[in-house]
Structure 1
Amino acid sequence: MRAFRHRLICLACATAAVVQPVYATTAPLAPPAPATTPTVAIPYSPEGTEEQGLWMEMDEVERRIRNSPQLITDPALQAYIRSVLCRTVGETRCGAARIYIARTTEPNASMAPNGMMLINSGMLLHITSEAQLAAVLGHEFAHYEHRHALLWFREVKKKGSAALWLAMTGIGLLAVGSVTSGLSNYSRDMEREADMDGLTRLASAGYALSEVSAPWKLFRAEWDATAVERKRKSRTLKDDKADGSHPALSERIAYSEAEAAKQAPGAETGKDRYQAALASWMPGFLEDQIKLNDFGASDVLIAALAERTGSPALLVARGDLYRSHAQPGDFEKADAFYSAAATSPDAPPQAWRGRGLVRLKLGQVEQGKADLRDYLKRTPDAPDRAMMAMMIGETP
């Protein structure tokens, strides 16, 4: 029962970055049918006792999220994400959403039936352009507009057992243990409807549809890398069976790229705006990812982001990943990543810190100490100044 409740409020997975060729499907896939469920009028109020009860439950979840220590309250980041949502769905309709950003590694986003939109930092880390962000936001807003949560809720009530229904009717329905949870266990048809609605909105806003499939490709590449690292079967195999609540990623890649092929050239990616808006947060999000102890997925993710953005901070992050992995040959690889980052005119000081630490590990003591001295010169107020100074035999 606990597992079902968790699935009921698990976040809707949405998008981010090209690293693999498109996975082939057994036959060409036609795009999903046009939307069949009506959209709500904005502003919208719940109708009937069922929907009113669902909103009340989500109001309680929203209260907990507002008080969560995982909540990111950066006004600039909030304003940026809202501006992208409003461009995507329209200035009038975007007022229905109250946006929350959670500091958690799960790459998800969701929008609840009461208008609460939740975006995880793990999702923001996985995407590299404003167009990809718009695709995520448009998809989630479509779930809200089409009242998918209520429709799915009614399906569960109709098909579920009495015990299951009772478990869903009280405050326990949406009780959450952390801010990482939200609504999304919709049917595959609802997910397809949200996908196609989001693609339409994206095109109307002038964003490049060619960006949409990138996150899905990256997720698959990460699953495969995790499987190789942990010597087990990849989730890709299970996903291709499409036996869950979402269409298989191969299907979503196919129909989103088919729609992108119809778009005239010149649509906007907004890559530079996205990177500028997230620049101050990315080092922390990358550190969170590395702490997951999933070397295979993290390596694929950081490499893909580095390839698309060229950011020296991502080279430093990859150096940190290999330094923490600490398998034979990893320190040498980490040294190479740090050195590549250090050649950039806007290299972060952490490039010299990381290289100094790995060179000490490699027995290159003088070179390591020189790098750490350089790091301290570049970062006079470094929080680890005392420890670094001790390592090079100097007074803090």
Structure 2
Amino acid sequence: MTVPQAPERHSRRGFLRATCQHCVGIASMLGLPALAQDIAGSDKAGLPPRFARPTTDTDEGGLWSLMDREESRLRRSPLAIRDKSLTRYLGDLTCRLADGHCPDIRIHVVRMPMFNASMAPNGMMIVWSGLLLRVENEAQLAAIVGHELGHYLERHQVEQLRTAKDRAVLAQLVGLLGGVAGTLGQIGILASLFAFSREHEARADKLGMRLMQQAGYEGAQAARVWDNLLGELKVTGGESVGDRSAMFATHPPVGNRRDELLRLAGDKGGNVGAADYQRTIAPLRFGWIQDEIKRGQYEESLVLFDRMLARASPSSSQPQDADVLYARGEVLRLRDDKGDDVRALDDLTRATAIFKAPPDAFRSLGLLHKSRSDVASAVPAFEKYLTLAPEAADASLIKTYLSEMRP
């Protein structure tokens, strides 16, 4: 499941995003048997037996080996998040959804600020930190993981393979990839040839819904994921972005998808798990927020931060989430459109007044006051920042500012 964002300002980020857009299921594209049972259509959503590893002398086995090598590279990547608590939490969630397939599934979280999750048929699942930042509770995460498991369990890649018209070209590509050190970029290019059809996406949604409800989660949360994503995309893409987006071209139309998910969910309640989820990601969340700010898609980020603040203080006009207040204020300061400085000043002032406000909030407040030529307010903000973060990378620069502003 991938949602493309607006074009990135840096080619590296755009390349990394493109490489994993279609990472789902490369290794199962060749020679896999289709399931005889229609899992998504069964009343009990029974799962197939665990998948046996293909022999190495087959195309399928070669691709599994390729994905195994990529997984080894991913484990060593500086982008990999090695947090034991988060890994254990995601593993437990997946086991509740996948039941007997649990031993075959390995989850890797990578520090990338966009919304993305993918799964290869060798059991490797990749989740991006931008997805975890946007997910509001455990039920929403279960909907996404369940969807990816739906593709995995139904072996949709083999059905896509059977539509390929030139297997000789495909074989040459596979041979090329197998003869050199693989990269996620190369795999992504190959995977883009096999984007899932709308039928496959709908079937994965259906099975994902059944898996999450069997595990006791509130199915209606699956629809909220799409509402939230569409809200971010609309701010730059307009009301019709759901019809024009590259991702939505192969996925069911957003409105239809939301409605169908709500229909599948019915009126059955279930666990939401907001507190447990937020507690699990709390040690990592601020770093992900910083990554979102650096992404440079200010309008989309503001929609996200507005939503996060509303969720944190649903009955109050004065949100108390210092991290997100800082984030919204910093995005406004950086965007610097008409009136943004006033709004940024309000957010940053409120953020710094909260107990244990992040040091960066004082830095941003000082920079904002400096840009407004308010030296009397900038100096104490910078001083507080240096007190809280004396070893900050920009400490010497802030000290230079202070020496210039002090009488």
Question: TM-score of the superposition, structure 1-length normalised?
Answer: 0.80
1:334 CA drift (Å): 1.0
Query: Is 1:316 the equivalent of 2:326?
Result: yes
Give the corresponding residue for 1:94. 102
* 8 A contact 1:226–1:295 mirrored in 2: no
CA distance in 2, matches of 1:35, 1:186: 22
Structure 2 unaligned spans of 5+: 1-14, 25-38, 314-320
Equivalent residue for 2:252, pick from 247, 250, 269 = 247
SS at match of 1:250: helix
Equivalent residue for 2:379, pick from 344, 348, 369 = 369
Q: 1:178 to 1:75 in 2, by over 3 A?
A: farther
Q: 1:181 to 1:218 in 2, by over 3 A?
A: farther
Give the corresponding residue for 1:332. 342
Deviations 1:209-266 (A, max 9, x none): 22212221122122221236xxxx8532325996x332122222111122334213xx
* 8 A contact 2:20–2:188 mirrored in 1: no
Equivalent residue for 2:76, pick from 28, 52, 67 = 67
Give the corresponding residue for 2:163. 155
* Structure 2 letter corresponding to 1:209: G
Give the corresponding residue for 1:110. 118
Give the corresponding residue for 1:224. 234
SS at match of 2:127: strand
1:112 CA drift (Å): 0.3
Give the corresponding residue for 1:34. 41
Does 165-174 or 281-290 show the bigger shift?
165-174
Give the corresponding residue for 2:133. 125
Query: Is 1:195 the equivalent of 2:205?
Result: yes
1:358 CA drift (Å): 0.7
1:381 CA drift (Å): 4.3
Query: Is 1:271 the equivalent of 2:274?
Result: yes
Give the corresponding residue for 1:25. none
* 8 A contact 2:21–2:116 mirrored in 1: no
Equivalent residue for 2:185, pick from 177, 185, 191 = 177
Q: 1:222 to 1:241 in 2, by over 3 A?
A: closer
Give the corresponding residue for 2:22. 10
Deviations 1:260-284 (A, max 9, x none): 34213xx221112211211222222
Deviations 1:101-124 (A, max 9, x none): 111123111110111111111211
SS at match of 2:97: helix
Q: 1:377 to 1:181 in 2, by over 3 A?
A: farther
Q: 1:391 to 1:369 in 2, by over 3 A?
A: same
Query: Is 1:281 the equivalent of 2:284?
Result: yes
CA distance in 2, matches of 1:198, 1:204: 10
CA distance in 1, matches of 2:132, 2:69: 25
Q: 1:357 to 1:216 in 2, by over 3 A?
A: same
* 8 A contact 1:111–1:118 mirrored in 2: yes
1:33 CA drift (Å): 7.1
* 8 A contact 1:71–1:100 mirrored in 2: yes
* Structure 2 letter corresponding to 1:333: R
Give the corresponding residue for 2:317. none
1:203 CA drift (Å): 1.2
Give the corresponding residue for 1:292. 295
* Structure 1 letter corresponding to 2:41: P
Give the corresponding residue for 1:388. 398
Q: 1:178 to 1:68 in 2, by over 3 A?
A: farther
Structure 1 unaligned spans of 5+: 13-31
1:64 CA drift (Å): 2.8
Number of aligned pairs?
A: 361
Q: 1:35 to 1:319 in 2, by over 3 A?
A: farther
* 8 A contact 1:207–1:268 mirrored in 2: yes
CA distance in 2, matches of 1:181, 1:291: 26
CA distance in 2, matches of 1:289, 1:247: 27
Q: 1:58 to 1:289 in 2, by over 3 A?
A: same
* Structure 2 letter corresponding to 1:297: E
Identify which of structures 1 and 2 has the higher relative contact order when contacts are C-alpha pairs closer than 8 Å and 6+ apart. Answer: 1
SS at match of 1:317: helix
SS at match of 2:41: coil
Give the corresponding residue for 2:147. 139
Q: 1:335 to 1:375 in 2, by over 3 A?
A: same
CA distance in 1, matches of 2:276, 2:186: 31
SS at match of 1:77: helix
Deviations 1:134-183 (A, max 9, x none): 11111112211112223323332xxx235643444324387532898896
CA distance in 1, matches of 2:153, 2:40: 17
CA distance in 1, matches of 2:183, 2:21: 9
CA distance in 1, matches of 2:146, 2:71: 20
Query: Is 1:237 the equivalent of 2:243?
Result: yes
CA distance in 2, matches of 1:143, 1:134: 14
Identity of aligned residues (%): 30
* 8 A contact 2:243–2:253 mirrored in 1: no
Q: 1:178 to 1:375 in 2, by over 3 A?
A: farther
Q: 1:99 to 1:122 in 2, by over 3 A?
A: same
Deviations 1:180-227 (A, max 9, x none): 889672222221111111111111222122221222112212222123
